[in-house]
Amino acid sequence: MFSGIVAAIGTVTGVAPVASGMRVRVDAGGLGLADVARGDSIAVNGVCLTVVALAGNTFEADVSPETLRTTAGYAAADRVNLEKALRLADRLGGHFVSGHVDGVGTVTGVESAGVNRVLAFALPPELARYVARKGSITVNGVSLTVNTVSGAGFAVNLIPHTLAATNLGWLAPGDRVNLEVDLLARYLERLAAGQ
């Protein structure tokens, strides 16, 4: 479980095919790894990955074919948002984030709003029902508040801190992003359906 509050921006330093999908190597940037062990979870652009190897300030994780199919994936030199899994004593500054990506969205617009930046996204139509104005959504692992909703699209307003502390500041129209809808919205839908 994660909060969607990004701790550091890392860099993918290598990807290699393996029998079970892909192995990704990440330079953790400012994310300290002293308290990380093999088997721990780290969210990498919002995807919960299990650490399988550690060396200095880098870690490796295996990415399953299902994860590759349902996410924007990874390539060498990608800048990625990183967050360690929550501990019981941690503050929950964002919202509950599972690290299980629901789909891939596309940036449709980027506009300046003073020192802020408004990003607009298209999302898969089947996810649109889970997105509500002033609700929560996770984009590349970042917990964000939805400002507007229009059909199968939504927009968020990013403050300077978010632009500087995450990889969202580099996004441009056409870029693909990992999306995780609000966990509570999914459970509420299932409860309302009586299943």
Q: Which of 24, 140, 121 is nearest to 82 (CA)?
A: 140
CA distance 80 to 47: 10
Mean pLDDT of successive 10-residue segments in the chain (195 residues)? 93 94 97 96 97 97 95 97 87 79 97 96 96 95 96 96 96 98 85 78
Q: How far is it, in rounded angstroms, from Cα 188 to Cα 136? A: 14
Residue 51: domain span: 8-84
The DSSP secondary-structure symbol of 49 reads E
Domain CATH for 150: 2.40.30.20
Q: For residues 179 and 148, what is the distance between their CA atoms, to the nearest angstrom? A: 16
- In the chain, the number of structural domains is 2
- What pLDDT, on the 0 to 100 scale, is given for residue 195? 61
Cβ-contact 107, 154 below 8 angstroms: no
Tell me, yes or no, whether 41 and 73 share the same domain.
yes
